[in-house]
Structure 1
Amino acid sequence: MNNKAGWLAGLALGCALATPAQADDEDYRGFYFTAWGGSGEYDVPGKSANDASITAGLPAELATLPIQPFTQVTLSPEGSTQDDSLTPWGAQIGYRFNRWVAVEAGYVNLGEFLYSMTGTLTGDYGFFCDTCDPVDIYVRPLSGDFQRARQITSTGITASVLGMFPASQHFDLHVRGGLYYADTRVTNRLRYMSAEFEDDVFNLYHRRVDASQTELFAGIGGAWNINESFSLRVEYQKYFDVGDDEKAGESDVDVINLSVLFK
């Protein structure tokens, strides 16, 4: 919360400074379009912390399987991977009122966070089969590998205000503050893979949580105005509390991007 307040205070100061009118505002006024790509990172616990959390939660997840009395499964974790680096991208349409102020609306895809734990799985799995003849509860032995995966994705619409600071004829600096109308999806899955049959793969556990939230985001960057039609922009952005703390947790997302601006 302190970080968020600091960002917004800085942006408010920037916008307050960006108020003087200039005689040559006509040279800046008009619509423009941007397309960008970059790299980013979810502010989530490290792999060792997730290893401990996932391992501790596996018994409770197994207890939620459909036919609990017949489910006797032993999991032996062997290794894990965590990829919290992102490849975000987006596009915006903007309107610059003068040399000091612009507004933008756009779409952003923050990429994918993926954690995966693997190991061996043995035991008996009971399940209700309503397509079998006869319809009944069946018990089958399990002997193979498992994959416990956690995936986070977030996409949505953005709306923001920019305070512009022309540093020279060809260079601008800017600060940004806005709203991110986020659709965030968190998927948790426990998949069984038979050691005997390659095509014997199915989910023991699968839960998907979708959260639609309005979040704050902010940015700071600069642009090189190549000519009257094209600019290159570099920007650091921070998206605050992406997700839903009551459903599947929240985390900040840091993004560095390079965009092409068409006037």
Structure 2
Amino acid sequence: MKKFQLKPLRALCLLSLAGLSTFSALTAHAQAEGHYYGGIGMGQARSKIDVDRINANLLSANPSMTTTSMTRDESDAAYKVFGGYQFSPYWGVEAGYFNLGQFGFKSTTNPTGSLDGRIKLDGVNLDLVGTLPINNQLSLLGRVGVHNARARDTFTGTGNVVILDPNPQKTQTNYKAGFGFAYQFSPSMALRGELERYRINDAVGNKGDINVASLSLVFPFGRTPEPAPKVVERVVYQQAPTPEPIIIVAPPAPAPTPVPAPVPVPAPKPERLRVSFNADVLFGFDNANMRLGGKEALNKFTQELKGVEYDHITVEGHTDRIGQAAYNEKLSLQRAEAVKNYLVNTSGLSAAKITTVGKGSSAPATAEGECKGIKTSAAVIACLQPDRRVDIDVTGSRPAAR
């Protein structure tokens, strides 16, 4: 027959107790965060009950019988409802109700017969739960505790199998342990995943373990709200404001009496003066030598120029048509240069403002057809006298009288 081994369960309990001792030491300086919580969990339970021993004990009343075959039903759905109080972030206490489902077996015997056995398990528990936070949401769990389980057995036999007590029941206190994790979704809900082992004594005096893997939803409540931060009133001493200076606005100074603008003196209008001198008076016949009478005529002309602000003076020399054109042009330029030199040397006129031009016989004063006859005759020479001349053209302005 199979013999149950207790060593793994003892090792699990010792590890859980060591973990809880560590958690308790950590909480010595931890700030309390007391709150209640409740929850519900569901999972899968698997039995490690020594059904071979149970079967042998039941058949002991029939020593001539032997078991020829056996089938086992060692798993079932389990659930639990629990509530607890979390003393600190590291440990708390929890109580609850659990239902581990039912398990069973069926064996056939020789002589012909059969034996069926079923066991139902439920009860209440009280655990010390330790928590080791990994971060703000994930924590590791460890628990040890005691439970009071009720075992209700049902046995039926057929053929030559005789059952002395078909419905034995037993309630007994034993220990339990487990470990797992918790994930905090929000301050009001968390998820647990756990592996737990329940030590069970059945109704016919046999011992075994029920291992449960479960997922639970946990709902914390009754948390103490964090106190609002104290507002420390701070007195700020402010320096008295400096009085603003008084600004005295002086009355505006009287506006100065406007001085009448001077009446603008009209700019002098430009004037043009053109004077024609008889070349026979200025020069001898067929030369550019200045005569005394010519000098007197020019002196009188310069007296008339006094007070005139001239811009430019043009001196033009002219001849009659007697003689060659090239010769006449050269002679007329020489006479214009002679007049210019006299004006500059005797009257102080600026040479830069005087231009000389020799036009020869190209601009006669007499009309075409006048002075007919032999060119060298005295009558023709006298008739052509207006062509022999020097014209002085002055451009300037005379200041207005004040």
TM surpasses 0.5: yes
Q: Is the 8 A contact 2:183 2:191 kept in 1?
A: yes
Structure 1 residue runs of 5 or longer lacking an equivalent are 64-73, 123-145, 193-202
Q: State which structure, 1 or 2, has the greater radius of gyration over its C-alpha atoms.
A: 2
Distance in 2 of aligned mates of 1:8 and 1:76: 38
1:94 is the counterpart of 2:84:
yes
For 1:61-105, what per-residue CA distance to the aligned partner results, in whole angstroms no more than 9, with x for missing partners? 468xxxxxxxxxx99988643110121111101110110111100
Which protein is richer in helix relative to its size? 2
Deviation at 1:188, TM superposition (A): 1.8
1:239 is the counterpart of 2:247:
no
SS across alignment from 2:187: coil
Q: Is the 8 A contact 1:34 1:260 kept in 2?
A: yes
Corresponding residue number in structure 2 for 1:22: 30
Corresponding residue number in structure 1 for 2:13: 8
Task: In structure 2, give the amino acid aligned to 1:102.
Answer: G
TM-score (norm 1): 0.69
Distance in 2 of aligned mates of 1:159 and 1:76: 42
Corresponding residue number in structure 2 for 1:68: none
- Equivalent runs, 1:196-235 vs 2, <5 Å: 205=163, 207-235=166-194
Structure 2 residue runs of 5 or longer lacking an equivalent are 1-5, 221-402
Corresponding residue number in structure 2 for 1:150: 117
Q: Is the 8 A contact 1:186 1:248 kept in 2?
A: no
Q: Is the 8 A contact 2:61 2:162 kept in 1?
A: no
Task: In structure 2, give the amino acid aligned to 1:88.
Answer: A
CA distance change for structure 1 residues 256 and 53 in 2, over 3 Å: closer, same or farther?
closer
Distance in 2 of aligned mates of 1:82 and 1:8: 28
Q: Is the 8 A contact 2:191 2:217 kept in 1?
A: yes
1:258 is the counterpart of 2:208:
no
TM-score (norm 2): 0.47
Corresponding residue number in structure 1 for 2:43: 38
CA distance change for structure 1 residues 80 and 166 in 2, over 3 Å: closer, same or farther?
same
- Equivalent runs, 1:119-198 vs 2, <5 Å: 147-191=114-158
CA distance change for structure 1 residues 150 and 170 in 2, over 3 Å: closer, same or farther?
same
CA distance change for structure 1 residues 121 and 177 in 2, over 3 Å: closer, same or farther?
same
Distance in 1 of aligned mates of 2:120 and 2:12: 24
Distance in 2 of aligned mates of 1:4 and 1:99: 27
Task: In structure 1, give the amino acid aligned to 2:83.
Answer: I
Distance in 2 of aligned mates of 1:207 and 1:118: 17
For 1:186-230, what per-residue CA distance to the aligned partner results, in whole angstroms no more than 9, with x for missing partners? 2221146xxxxxxxxxx9635222121110000100011111111
Corresponding residue number in structure 2 for 1:126: none
Which protein is richer in strand relative to its size? 1
Deviation at 1:114, TM superposition (A): 1.4
Task: In structure 1, give the amino acid aligned to 2:173.
Answer: T
Task: In structure 2, give the amino acid aligned to 1:95.
Answer: Y
Deviation at 1:117, TM superposition (A): 3.2
Distance in 2 of aligned mates of 1:161 and 1:153: 26
Q: Is the 8 A contact 1:188 1:207 kept in 2?
A: yes
SS across alignment from 1:98: coil
CA distance change for structure 1 residues 260 and 190 in 2, over 3 Å: closer, same or farther?
same
Distance in 2 of aligned mates of 1:230 and 1:171: 13
SS across alignment from 1:43: strand
Q: Identity percentage over the alignment?
A: 23
Task: In structure 2, give the amino acid aligned to 1:251.
Answer: G
Task: In structure 1, give the amino acid aligned to 2:103.
Answer: F
